Amino acid sequence: MTKTTQLFCTVLFAATFARVSAQPFVDQTPFNQNVRLGAVLELEGDASGDEVWGFEVGYAQRIYPIDQMVFSFGHVASSDLEQNYFLVSFEQQFPINSKIAPYGTSGIGYIWNDDKIGDANREALYGKVGAGVIFLVAPRWSVVAELNYRFARDSVWLDEDGFHNTNWQTVLGLRYSF
């Protein structure tokens, strides 16, 4: 096969695949929508060894073929640090039964700090991977527990040893589906 023939076949295959795979996205209305509110705990603490607590709010919907695409904003604070972040993440659920569904999650976000003990305000793009479990407690209400590992190229998370480029975070929250 010549290079021209290979290129033609590759383009033909890619165009056909794109047309077929794009079909589910045409005129798709949002479904499995939910709003979220959670309490956040940074597991490493801050420079003084204090716990770092905060909140996370978000909106999610099913987006074919992924169970949930989530848009979140979070804020955590301690005596040493205030931190805000925006995050876009994806969740894939693995239901055990109609009331319990473990899930995996990954995403990318933007984080910025206000360091209260120095002049080391920092910001960075970061990624997250994690796992959680959803407990359905009423037809529209769920309780969620999640553990995340977050990582960035730049050091943006503060603990007793200084700034680091990785962090563990837990979220315990509620979801309301509509």
DSSP helix, strand, coil percent of the chain (3-state; round to 5): 15, 60, 25
Q: Judging by beta carbons within 10 Å of its beta carbon (0-12, 13-18, 19+), is residue 11 exposed, middle or buried?
A: exposed
Domains and CATH numbers, the chain: 30-177 (2.40.160.20)
pLDDT string in tens for the chain (178-residue length)? 565 666 555 655 555 544 544 455 455 566 789 999 999 999 887 778 888 999 999 999 998 788 999 999 999 998 888 999 999 999 999 999 999 999 999 999 999 988 777 767 889 999 999 999 999 999 999 999 999 999 999 988 888 888 889 999 999 999 999 9
- For tokens 């077929």, the residue is 20
